[in-house]
Chain A
Amino acid sequence: MLNILVCVKQIPDVDLVKMDPETGNLIRTGVPTLTNPLDLNALEAAVQLKERYGGAITLITMGPPMAESTLRECLAVGGDEAVLITGRPFGGADTLSTSYTIVKAAERFGPFDLIFCGKESLDGATGQMASQLAERFDAAQISCCLSIEEVKDGRIRATRALESGRELVEAKLPCLVTVEKDNYYGRLPNLEAYLAAKKAPIVTCTENNIEGLDLQKIGVPGSGTIVPKIYPPELPEPGQMIRTGSVKTDVGRLLELLAEKGTL
C-alpha cells in the first residue's frame, strides 16, 4: 500500500494572457484556466502505481478558491483526498515559499512514500518546484522520469531521460518523481467518477489551520525572489515581406532573392 501525494496547479491559458500596455500589468481577468498539462501526466503515473500496488492518492494544490475545479478534475481521474491551500497571505509566493507551504499543509496527510509533480508549469515554468519540494520533504528525487519499473522493499526503480540517453536509477523511498509525458498520457475519467468528483469533499487549508505554519515563510514575505519589472520583449525591425499576390509568385520571388544572396 503506497501513500502517494500528487501536486497539481491551475494555470491561466498563457496564450490568452495579455499585458496592459499602460500599466505593464498582466491582464488575467476573464482568461480561462486549465490544469497544468504536465501535472496530468504525473497524476497518470501515480494512478497506475495505485492500480498496481494499492494505496491512496492525495491531491494538493495552492491557488485562489477557483483552483478547486482543478482538484475535482484530478479527483475524477484518480484521487482519494483533495487539499486546497488558499488565502490572501499565500499570494505572490515564489517557489521557496510555495514549497514550504505545500509541505506544511501536506504534513497531516503524510508521511508519503511517493510524491509526484509535473516537470514544470506552463505559466511560471521555473521547473524548480519539484526539487525544492523534494528537499523540504527530505525525499530522494527522480526527475524526468520516463517509466516506473518497480516499487518494492522501500525502493523505486525507474527510467529517466538524460541529455544523451536513458538512465535506470534506483532510489529510496520517500521519493519525489517528476514525470515526462511520453509514456503517461492522461486518461479521461468515466462518467461515474466525474459525477462523484463533483460532489467530493475538498479539504481547505488556510493560514489559520495549517499546524506550525510560520507566516514569515509564506507568500511574499517568504519568497526569495521578486519580479520588480516586466516589459514587452524588444522586437527587431521586421524583415522584408514578400507580397506579390499569390503563393506561386511569392515563392518565385523568394527564390530569386535567395539566388541574389547566393544562398541557393
Chain B
Amino acid sequence: MNKNDYKNMWVYIEHDGKTAAPVGLELCCEVRKLCDRTGDRLYAVVIGALPETELEKVKACGVDGFILVSGTGYDFFNTDAWANAFTVLSRKYNPSAIFVGGTVDGRDFAPRFAVQLETGCTSDAMELDWDPETGDIQFIEPAVGGKIMAVITVPVLRPQVGTIRPGTFPYAPVGAKERVEVIEERIDFDPAAIRCHPVGFIPDENDPELDIAHADCIVCVGNGLKDGEHLERYRTLARLLGGKLGCTRPLYDRGILPYKLQIGQSGVMVKPKLYISFGVSGAVNHTAGVDAGLFIAVDKNPNAQIFNYCDYGIVGDMDEVCDELIARLRAGDGKLI
C-alpha cells in the first residue's frame, strides 16, 4: 500500500432525516483545520436524504465537497448497510482518513468497516495533530484511566479511521467555500441482508434531574464517596444551589448513580457557570468533559490532580465540607446564582 495514493479526509454526517447531529458538524470544523495543514480536501459523507437547510449548515463548516449516498437499505440505521457503504466508497475514492462521531451508532459501524478494509481504527481522540514527515494523523487520547496521554497513529495502512466523542471539539464554522463539489453515489444494500431490525422504541422519561448538559450549576461527586448512603447531602447541596447532581465514572460503575449523570468524555459534556467537585481525583477523561465558569474542588488528597483544574480548592473530608456548605447556605450566607 502506498500511502500517497490516499488523499482527502471524510467526515460522516449522522442525522435522523431531519437534522444533522452536532458531532458531525464539530468534526467538520476540526478536520477542516487539519486539511488546511495537510492540503487534503474535506468531504462530508451523508447517507440518506437530509434537508437542504441542514446541508447548508454542514457547508458552513468549510467542507470542500459532499458525498451523498442513496439507495436501498437506509430506511433505518443498521450497521450492515452503513459499514458496507463506507467500504464501497472508500475502495472507490481512497480517502486518507475517515472520521465518525463516537455515538452508539458510529461506534457500531466504524470499527466494522475498518475491518472490512483491514485498516487501523482509533477511538476517543481528544486532539488531532499531523506529522508532516510521516504524513500520519496523530490521534491523541487519554489512556490507562486518564493517567497518561497516548499518541496513536496508523503508520502503514489507509484510510486512518477515528471515532470521536460528541462535544470533544467546538462547533466553530469558518464559513462556506465558494465552490462545493457534490458527488452523488447510489449504493444499494439488499434489505434482506440487514441482520438487525428495530422493532420498538421507548424514549427515556424526561426527568429534569437527569438533564445535566445544560445545568448552570453542578455538584459532582466522585469515587471518594464512601457509599450510596452518603449521597443525599450532595443532592441537598445541589438543590440549595439551584443546580444538579452529577458524578464521575466510578460512581456509575459502582451502581450508585445512573449513566446519564456521568460527566466526562465518555459521558455528558457540561458547561456550568459553577461546578463543585467532591472526592473527584481529576482524571483527564473526566476533566475533558467540564467547561466551567468557576470550578471548585474538594478532596482529601492534597496532591489530587483535580486541584490543577480548579479555581479554588479545599483539602478536607468531602462530607464535612458539604455539610458545612449546606449549613451556611441555609443560614443565608449565599444567595445563589
Contact = CB atoms under 8 A, between A and B. Distances in A.
Interface of A: 14-15, 17-19, 26, 37, 94-96, 99, 122-128, 131-132, 134-136, 139-144, 157, 161-172, 175, 181, 185, 223-243, 247-248, 250-252, 254-255, 257-259, 261, 263-264
B144 A26 contact: yes
Nearest to A224: B120
Contacts of B207: none
Nearest to B157: A224
B196 A227 contact: no
A179 B334 CA distance: 45
Q: Which 5 A-B pairs have the closest CB atoms?
A: A224-B120, A140-B195, A168-B200, A128-B111, A131-B111
A239 B297 contact: yes
A94 B315 CA distance: 40
Contact of A95 (B107, B121, B144): B121
Given A95-B121, A239-B297, A168 B150 contact: no
Interface residues of B, number: 83
A141 B112 CA distance: 10
Interface in B112-160: 112, 114-116, 118-124, 142-157
Interface in B289-308: 293-297, 302, 305, 307-308
A259 B313 CA distance: 16
Nearest to B281: A15
A231 B150 CA distance: 7
Contact of A165 (B103, B142, B201, B273): B201
Contact of B149 (A123, A223, A224, A232): A232
B187 interface: no
B93 interface: no
Contact of B122 (A225, A243, A252): A225
A254 B314 CA distance: 8
B201 A167 contact: yes
Contact of B204 (A126, A164, A248): A164
A227 B142 CA distance: 12
A224 B114 contact: yes
Given A14-B145, A143-B108, A240-B312, 19 more contacts: A127-B124, A128-B110, A135-B116, A139-B195, A141-B79, A141-B108, A169-B196, A170-B197, A181-B255, A223-B120, A224-B119, A224-B154, A224-B156, A230-B148, A233-B146, A238-B308, A248-B324, A257-B312, A263-B293
